Chain A
């Protein structure tokens, strides 16, 4: 037996020093590739910005229509200095986050029921699918009528927008769990609750995270709509304000800020995804 085991192990076991070295090398490689990704990704935007700046300075484009990038940056800096910037950014982010959390929680609760129970699927799913085919922005007037133009109607709208992608992905994630893995759990005598916790939830996590990310994207879309309708603060309000003041630099500054925080929040979710799904056997380019 002992000898046979040696045979068995000889092939792969023993984390040799080469493996440790390999690890260090791979970390270094990762850093290199990050630098490279950032560099490659920024070539075209930087070029475009330079061309834009030159065109503006040369007077080819009228600056009251399209201000130069430097003017926009100045605008952002001046807003940061007088403090108004933080208020706008904060209130918009706050609305998105609250709406996102409410929408996600509702989707988790309903999605789990529909995913686990046939009866719940028959009861709720057709209705939810029907609601889904209504463009969510169509709810705006109704929400304003019901809830006023305060925070409640805005947050509700965002929650509605976030709900659908998260819900759909949770349901399909749960329905897509491999029966073979569930059998493994059953073989070890797990009850329904344990099966959910130890097999179904981890197995449907990838799909859930995809849903969260597209939900967050929609959340940002809806916050603009909500703030365009009526707000006294927020990045969406800045858009309307810029339009009324005919100051394109305000509008563009607001758009850029949307891009930046939208990207940051998505990046945070992406980080969570990479952390929790490192076990996935994915294609690496």
Chain B
């Protein structure tokens, strides 16, 4: 599914958080929105998702412009946001419709792929942070979203879990060819995952630069090219530069 942003701005009570963002995303592309905190990355993502309809400009999803929430869009939040009164399985089936049996089978497939098979009956309070975030990932993926929006989904996790889940995301992407928009402040994450990194800067945030990463996947986290890209991105993010 394609996605296009045209002159998107968002103002909160007179303060502009992000302005004049233009972006074309091809179907199946992984886009990273990178920037320091407060430059409007998450604001932009919430506008795309439809959770925040108060923006100016146009957002076109698969040829239609609307400010509604699309049922083909999935959102993975920074925190797991599991419903504490439902067990893992019911949390994953939360967004599904259809017969109970079908829903559960689908959910179990996805739990398998996030490595949580056998944990269906646990309640969120019994999960570690990484496990809870994996349940949240399964919950977002189980509806087979054509556009997947991720708001710093791995930022609260330890380095190892983070790497595992990044690989998991790539596996899922390979399988379903979803279009992914990833908000992050982790440059390594952006260069490892994305086809294109959009760098936002300033307050109000504006697009500073786009960096295309053509390297084949699977990428080597320690490769020289990625290190090179990282220093290029760091340079354009440089806070001393005005």
Contacts and interface: CB of A to CB of B under 8 A. Distances in A.
Interface of A: 1, 4-5, 7-9, 12-15, 180-181, 183-184, 186-189, 198-199, 202-203, 205, 278-281
Interface residues of B, number: 33
Given A180-B79, A189-B69, A280-B125, A9 B164 contact: no
Contacts of B51: 183, 186-187
A188 B84 contact: no
6 contacts: A4-B164, A12-B119, A184-B83, A187-B51, A187-B75, A280-B125
B71 interface: yes
- Main SS class of interface, B: loop
Given A13-B116, A180-B81, 18 more contacts: A5-B113, A8-B115, A8-B168, A9-B117, A13-B115, A14-B118, A181-B83, A184-B94, A187-B51, A187-B74, A189-B95, A198-B94, A202-B85, A203-B85, A205-B85, A279-B125, A280-B84, A281-B125
Contacts of B171: 1
A183 B128 CA distance: 22
B142 to A, nearest CB: 11
Nearest to B119: A13
A187 B77 CA distance: 11
B101 to A, nearest CB: 20
B85 A188 contact: no
Across chains A and B, which 10 residue pairs bring their CB atoms closest together, nearest first? Answer: A8-B115, A188-B95, A281-B125, A279-B85, A202-B85, A187-B75, A279-B123, A9-B115, A13-B118, A189-B71
A202 B143 CA distance: 23
B131 interface: yes
A279 B115 contact: no
Contacts of A183: 51, 77, 81
Interface of B: 49, 51, 69, 71, 73-75, 77, 79, 81, 83-86, 94-95, 113-119, 123-125, 128, 131, 143, 164, 167-168, 171
B165 to A, nearest CB: 9
A205 B86 CA distance: 13
B57 to A, nearest CB: 21
Contact of B117 (A13, A198, A279): A13
Nearest to A180: B81
- In the complex, which of the residues A13, A180, A198, A279 has the most CB atoms of chain B within 10 Å of its own CB atom? A279
A13 B77 CA distance: 24
A191 B74 CA distance: 17
A281 B73 CA distance: 31
Contacts of B71: 189
A180 B51 CA distance: 11
A103 B94 CA distance: 34
Contacts of B94: 184, 188, 198
B84 A281 contact: yes
Given A9-B115, A180-B81, A186 B125 contact: no
